[in-house]
Amino acid sequence: MGELSTPQPGRYRQSSINEQKLLLWVAIGTIVMLFGAFTSAYVVRRSAGNWYEFKLPDIFFASTLVILASSVSLHWAYSSFKRGMEQRYKIGLIITMVLGLVFVVMQYLGWIALDQSGATFTINPSSSFVYVISGVHAAHVLGGIGALVMATLHAFTLPFRPTKRRRNRFELVVQYWHFVDALWVYLYIFFLFQS
Amino acid sequence: MAHIADPTAVEQLEQEVTEKLGFNDHFHDHHHGDKYSANFLTHYIFSTDHKMIARQFLITGIFWAFVGAAMSIVFRLQLGFPEADMAWLKPILGKWIQVNSSGIGKLDPEFYYALVTMHGTILVFFVLTAGLSGTFSNLLIPLQVGARDMASPLLNAFSYWFFFLAGVVMFLSLFLSTGPFSGGWTAYPPLSALPQASEGSGTGMTMWIVGMAFFIVSSLLGGINYITTILNLRTKGMNLWRMPMTIWSFFVTAILGVLSFPVLLSGVLLLMFDRSMGTSFYLSEIVVGGEVLDRVGGSPILFQHLFWFLGHPEVYIIILPAMGMVSEVLSVNARKPIFGYRAMVYSIMAIGFLSFIVWAHHMFMSGVNPLISNFFVIFTLIIAVPSAVKVFNWITTIYGSNFRFNTPSLFAVGFVSMFISGGLTGIFLGNSAIDIQMHDTYFVVAHFHIVMGVAAFFGMFAGVYHWFPKMFGRFMNETLGKIHFWGTLVGAYAIFWPMHYTGMAGVPRRYYDGGASFEAFKHFDDLNKFITIGAIVVFFLQIVFIINFFYSIFAGRKLKVKNPWGANTLEWTTPIEAGHGNWPGNIPTVQRWAYDYGKNGEDFLPQYVPLKEGEHDHGGH
């Protein structure tokens, strides 16, 4: 036996990325595949004909702007957190949470508008797809709102200390929220190009 | 003791390791290991320790394998002896055995389909996905890469409990008065989409969907954990080219799982909307029992695409872990490095990639455009190339070695045999022109049972016998193990080999009477009986395994040294009774690849042994 190198007492990491973030990235990969499957099914089904054409309600455009704004406010909260500005960080979180809820309500109004325009849930797969895809997306947004609620509770109940641990935990919320935002932008553009 | 490495050499090495590297068997007071064995519930039931979760997966898997196999015996009896009296099964199957006025009991035809459906669902998902991958990915990933536990032990425990919940729902569906789902494990619409389509399509199908949704969540939680652990928590020095074949195969398996299971989830979600909300994703103008339904514009083919986009990677999710374990077991028992290590890794990657672009070869009979079929035929046949590379490398690993014939290595060799036999018929079925003739015959049943059913089971058995000492600190009985192996090898061929002939002759699969009502197939009656007898014999041999397994947990020969097989991988450096955190002291540092057997006159050089001056490292960049 030759020279022995120093054994590792604790745990050893191959890269500086935090495991939880990596876990979340892989989980995001699974959500991407879920929506990839939905939108591919949409394309395949559409090419088979017997497709009811309708116009997407304008409220979806407004909801897109709202969720984009929520990402901006969350980013503002995050950079305030890093710079130690407690007040802005708390305000940013609340704004993001409210915008997230407004987004979900607007999606609901969008479904009502769709229904009233004649594109009901069951009339044709073309409209069913829009309800199901935007509905499953809204469910993912609700999960994100749950995470935001936790982050806000932490912000208001725990003493403000931008430690590495707190930052990592907050970054998970930020990572997921930007993802559901980008996912909706993709879905909205997808629907626009298809109709 | 031919099946064990030179014990004095092993002991000497272990002593050196204890002295110099500092990972000894004594748990230090400051370590949090003992907290986890505080009481029965936290230690055995709601454990977050990956080794305990692995054992939970294995034992749950064995339960399901028993249930699934028992079902196959009932429908094999029906197929082999369609005229026989089944009244003796009435105490177990109750109303599904109809006894006529002269006291002759018959299996309910509706229930026959339920049995076949549940047999497929249970074996494919609950046994060969969760039972195989769940057990060994959990056990071996942290141990072989040198990690304290999974990236998220909590999500890992959730993964098991979602699997358990899926099992509870699926098991309860067996007791419905309308029976479990009976439309085939692939759950094609319209049988799966219309509750009124058949008896099992109602509540049975609803429970099937709920069970499968839990199952998908379980697989995803497991998969994201395996990937993250392998990517980030490997110990110092464990670069990718030093990882054992087992880890490579679990890694690619997990990637396939996280990419394909969400697609099944999307398909199943749309199915749920069709069933209960009145949408028509999969349903077109349809008449059920004279009643015209108001569904328009759906396509059942869409479900088949979504299903097989998971379904094909799924067969590799089943077979790749078996391949990895077989590579490891063969190399350890041949005392030779695995032949063509990098070619083996690239083959796994190639198989994994190709598995995503061949799904429609399951749908040649569904009216897919023949032009598109050509594309799928070509890529399907290309899979033969990496598969053949692997087979060649297994054979060359054994070739010229002083092979130790113990139960795990025998099962590993059996795996290679089964994989060749089943793989060859895959070349036939991959051709759409031949598949159209063969698709609905027993030829397909023979093909996939040998190549992914029996082969994956052999890989799993090799793994169970090989890592049993690691899991339970005892050995399984060798004599019973060898009886189990030889009986199962001969028996499995006796069951599935004849099916190739009946299939080529055109005997249709999925028939309640096995084709006996066709005058043209009358001469296969005896062959059918032979197959059924083979199935019963093999079933009892698996009971031998189950007895051996549970007996050995409590009363098997005790493990005295840490590394009984003289293997190079890190799992054999932990204490025999490893606590939470795996290594009581330090995590070992990896210095070389996992396959230095018979190098420079040394029988084996474990991965923590540093390289000598000027020594070539196979795992180097």
pLDDT, mean over chain B: 91
8 A C-beta contact, residue B509 and residue B441: yes
Containing B97, the helix (H) or strand (E) segment is: strand B97-99
Q: Is B552 buried (19+), middle (13-18) or exposed (0-12) by CB count in 10 A?
A: buried
Residue A63 lies in a domain: yes
CATH number of the domain bearing residue A110: 1.20.120.80
Residue B610 lies in a domain: no
Whether residue B267 and residue A37 make contact (CB cut-off 8 A), yes or no, is: yes
Q: What is the mean predicted confidence (pLDDT) over A184-190?
A: 97
Q: Which residues of B touch A124 (CB under 8 A)?
A: 280, 296-297
Q: Report the distance separating Cα A114 and Cα A100, nearest Å.
A: 21
Whether residue B266 and residue A38 make contact (CB cut-off 8 A), yes or no, is: yes
pTM (2 decimals)? 0.93
Whether residue B5 is predicted with pLDDT greater than 80 in this model: the reply is no
- DSSP percent split of chain B into helix, strand, coil, nearest 5: 65, 5, 30
CA distances from B119 to B84, B180, B188, B239, B558 (A): 22, 11, 16, 41, 36
Residue A80 lies in a domain: yes
pLDDT digits (tens, 9 = 90+) for A60-98: 999 999 999 999 999 999 999 999 999 999 999 999 999
Three-state SS annotation for B332-383:
HHHCCCCCCHHHHHHHHHHHHHHHHHCHHHHCHHHCCCHHHHHHHHHHHHHC
Give, as one character, the DSSP assignment of residue B475: P
Place of tokens 């071996």: B140
Whether residue A124 and residue B232 make contact (CB cut-off 8 A), yes or no, is: no
Residue A10 lies in a domain: no
Say whether the peptide bond before residue A162 is cis (omega within 30 degrees of 0). Answer: no
CA distances from B269 to A37, A45, B184, B216, B413 (A): 11, 16, 18, 12, 41
Residue B65 lies in a domain: yes
Task: Please identify among residues 74-103 of chain A the ones whose CB lies closer than 8 Å to any CB of chain B.
Answer: none
Residue A128 lies in a domain: yes
Whether residue A122 and residue B227 make contact (CB cut-off 8 A), yes or no, is: no
Give, as one character, the DSSP assignment of residue B520: G
Whether residue B25 is predicted with pLDDT greater than 70 in this model: the reply is no
8 A C-beta contact, residue B415 and residue B328: no
Structure tokens at B134: 């769940």
User: What pLDDT is attached to residue B21?
Assistant: 58
Closest CA to B400 of B462, B340, B335, B343: B335
Whether residue A11 is predicted with pLDDT greater than 90 in this model: the reply is no
Partner residues linked to B317 by β-bridges: none
Q: Which residues of B touch A10 (CB under 8 A)?
A: 587
pLDDT digits (tens, 9 = 90+) for B511-549: 988 777 888 898 899 999 999 999 999 999 999 999 999
Closest CA of chain B from A82, distance in Å? 26
Whether residue A3 and residue B587 make contact (CB cut-off 8 A), yes or no, is: no
Q: Give percent of chain A with pLDDT exceeding 90.
A: 74
Other C-beta atoms closer than 10 Å to the C-beta of B453 total 23
Find the domain containing A170 and state its range. 58-194
Residue A50 lies in a domain: no
pLDDT digits (tens, 9 = 90+) for B301-324: 999 999 999 999 999 999 999 999
Minimum Cα–Cα distance from B296: chain A residue = A124
Quickly state the pLDDT bin for B35 (edges 50, 70, 90): very low
Residue B612 lies in a domain: no
CATH number of the domain bearing residue B552: 1.20.210.10
Q: Which residues contact B544 (CB under 8 A, 6 or more apart)?
A: B480, B483, B484, B487
Q: Give percent of chain B with pLDDT exceeding 70.
A: 94
8 A C-beta contact, residue B116 and residue B75: yes
Minimum Cα–Cα distance from A19: chain B residue = B151
Cα A84-A85-A87 angle, rounded to 5 deg: 140
The CA-based diameter of chain B, rounded to the nearest angstrom, is: 86
Whether residue B302 and residue A44 make contact (CB cut-off 8 A), yes or no, is: yes
Residue B620 lies in a domain: no
Domain count, chain A: 1
CA distances from B188 to B179, B268, B470 (A): 18, 10, 42
Q: Which residues of B touch A2 (CB under 8 A)?
A: 610-613
Q: Quick check: A9 contacting B, CB < 8 Å?
A: yes
Whether residue A5 and residue B234 make contact (CB cut-off 8 A), yes or no, is: no
Q: Which residues of B touch A29 (CB under 8 A)?
A: 258-259
Find the domain containing B426 and state its range. 7-604
Place of tokens 């005790």: B558
Task: Tell me, rounded to whole angstroms, the distance of Cα B372 from its chain centroid.
Answer: 30
Helix (H/G/I), strand (E/B), else coil: B399 = coil
Structure tokens at B460: 């799993």
Domain count, chain B: 1
pLDDT digits (tens, 9 = 90+) for B112-129: 999 999 999 999 999 999
User: What pLDDT is attached to residue A70?
Assistant: 97
Tell me phi and psi for residue B429, to 5 degrees.
-70, -20
Whether residue B298 is predicted with pLDDT greater than 90 in this model: the reply is no
Minimum Cα–Cα distance from B305: chain A residue = A41
Minimum Cα–Cα distance from B611: chain A residue = A2
Q: Which residues of B touch A19 (CB under 8 A)?
A: 151-152, 228-229, 232-233
Structure tokens at B431: 């051709």
pLDDT digits (tens, 9 = 90+) for B82-105: 888 999 999 999 899 999 888 889
8 A C-beta contact, residue B169 and residue B205: no
Other C-beta atoms closer than 10 Å to the C-beta of A113 total 15
8 A C-beta contact, residue A113 and residue A59: yes
Residue A3 lies in a domain: no
8 A C-beta contact, residue A138 and residue A35: no
8 A C-beta contact, residue B618 and residue B592: yes
Give, as one character, the DSSP assignment of residue B171: H
Closest CA of chain B from A87, distance in Å? 33
Q: Quick check: A132 contacting B, CB < 8 Å?
A: yes
- Pairing of the two strands B597-599 and B291-292: unpaired
8 A C-beta contact, residue A88 and residue A80: yes
Closest CA to B585 of A184, A9, A133, A61: A9
